[in-house]
Structure 1
Amino acid sequence: MTFIPRIALIVGSTRPTRFADKPAQWMLKQAQARDDMEVELVDLRDFSLPFFAEKASNMWAPSQSPEAVRWQQTIGRFDGYIFVVAEYNRSITGALKNALDQAYVEWIRKPFTAIGYGSVGGARAVEHLRLIGIELQMVPTRSAVHIGGVDFMSVSPMGANKPIEDIEANLLPSAKAALDDLVWWARATKAAKAG
């Protein structure tokens, strides 16, 4: 029987006026249309994570915060991740960085991809996320989805606020590549861990 990886699509912005829901719902639809993965939306708004204040990461000491433990248990159920990444001042959001820091054991040797957005498609934030992921012993995929420039201004509330389907043709090739990479790496890391 072929292993079907469980994937979390993590919404990395918690602002009340966030744009993240539009790309998150679009990416969720792309992932759910496939038969080689199971995907679940995980929204950071649903967790009241404190700022990281533990003695150490949970690699070295159990977390004391019940909300951090709930977060760890939630993300630990998955074989891979898709991050919805807003670019804030050339990096990821503080909420996403804090969520990444609240776990360690759960991220190890699991792959991730991203859908980033902003003036340059969230490219700098996605690159920063990849560096953080490497430190957490994750497997960043090469492919990601970037919504930037004219496409971003076309679908953003700061611009024309059109439906994301208006730019879908520009996003579908990278979404397919990103999800193909994610499934391949989820299967590879699962097999390696089992062996």
Structure 2
Amino acid sequence: MTRIGIILGSTRPNRKSEQVAKWVHDTAVQRGDADVELIDLRDHPLPHLDEPMPPSMGRPQNDHTRQWAAKIASFDGYVIVTPEYNHSIPGVLKNALDYLYGEWHNKAVGFVSYGASGGVRAAEHLRQIAGELKLADVRQQVTLTLATDFESYSVFKPGGHQPSQLNTLFDEVIAWSAALAGLRDPAAARAA
């Protein structure tokens, strides 16, 4: 079964990403067509990039990097839940992405963003980063607006149209993850 990691892109106290990621996770579990796991960046405290070699060299020196690499390598695709901070993504998310290179290659990624304008600028920045990491970003994204999808700007209550948007995102991420499997493991693709 296709494995999808749902990455919580914020570690900030009182973050909203936990509420959003739980909704994303619960929706995926109900679908039953992928094995999903929450990946909380709080559980992977990575210092500001401290590897002596570039991630593209694939020679991590630190245990925290090797653990992060093993976690990310275990998935076929991802859904990143991100707030928008100053028209971009949180620094902790950028740092987590920058730590690795080959572990991201030839996998699908979708974005669930939130903020005053739905987090659209954060998602656009993620698309640029994804391209460099050889992640295939799907077209569908879920944009959650603080004024309409959060009661009193704090309690997550997605609008009625959001579940269908999220299901379309999962349709695309799962399909693309499966389609890219041959690029991740060419020997398996030749045997098929």
**TM-score scaled to structure 2, two decimals?**
0.91
C-alpha separation in 2, matches of 1:155 and 1:46? 29
In structure 2, give the amino acid aligned to 1:148.
T
Is 1:21 the counterpart of 2:12? The answer is: no
Is 1:146 the counterpart of 2:137? The answer is: no
C-alpha separation in 2, matches of 1:101 and 1:155? 34
1:51-78, Cα deviation, whole Å (9 max, x unpaired): 1122333321411121111001111100
Q: Match for residue 189 of structure 1?
A: 180
- Where do residues 1-195 of structure 1 align in structure 2 (5 Å cutoff)? 4-148=1-145, 150-154=147-151, 156-157=153-154, 161=155, 163-164=156-157, 167-193=158-184, 194=186, 195=189
C-alpha separation in 2, matches of 1:46 and 1:174? 28
C-alpha separation in 1, matches of 2:36 and 2:161? 23
More strand by share: 2
- Whether the aligned pair in 2 keeps the contact of 1:121 and 1:152 (CA below 8 Å) is no
Structure-2 change in CA distance of 1:32 and 1:152 (3 Å): same
- Whether the aligned pair in 1 keeps the contact of 2:141 and 2:169 (CA below 8 Å) is yes
Aligned-pair identity in percent equals: 35
C-alpha separation in 2, matches of 1:117 and 1:56? 34
C-alpha separation in 1, matches of 2:129 and 2:173? 17
**TM-score scaled to structure 1, two decimals?**
0.90
Q: CA deviation at 1:149?
A: 5.2
Structure 1 vs Structure 2 CA RMSD:
1.5
- Whether the aligned pair in 1 keeps the contact of 2:58 and 2:101 (CA below 8 Å) is no
Paired residues, number: 186
C-alpha separation in 1, matches of 2:58 and 2:150? 45
- Specify the SS of the correspondent of 1:146: strand
- Whether the aligned pair in 2 keeps the contact of 1:57 and 1:101 (CA below 8 Å) is no
- Whether the aligned pair in 2 keeps the contact of 1:19 and 1:156 (CA below 8 Å) is no
Structure 1 unaligned regions, length at least 5: none
